[in-house]
Amino acid sequence: GRCAVILLLAVLCDVVGLITLFLGIFAPLSSWDFFVYLGALLLAFSLVFWSFWYTFNIEV
């Protein structure tokens, strides 16, 4: 499809968000809450890229 850059940003944001979230959940860190909140924020922010990608790929 079109908009390969937005697709790449969405997937990258998902992967980094999941890794950060799981690092905050499972790693014995003293600042675990930072990683949990950052991972959740990245996953929520990736929805913006997924919406852009879907919107720009609609055939009119």
Judge residue 54's burial from the number of C-beta atoms within 10 Å of its C-beta, 0-12 exposed, 13-18 middle, 19 or more buried. Answer: middle
Q: Check pLDDT > 90 for residue 2.
A: no
Q: How far apart are CA 34 and CA 58, in angstroms?
A: 37
Q: What are phi and psi of 34, to 5 degrees?
A: -60, -45
pTM for the complete prediction? 0.85
Question: Which residue ranges make up each domain of the chain?
Answer: 4-56
What is the pLDDT confidence band of residue 33, given thresholds at 50, 70 and 90? very high
Residue carrying the six token digits 């996953």:
43
Look up residue 52 and give its amino acid: F
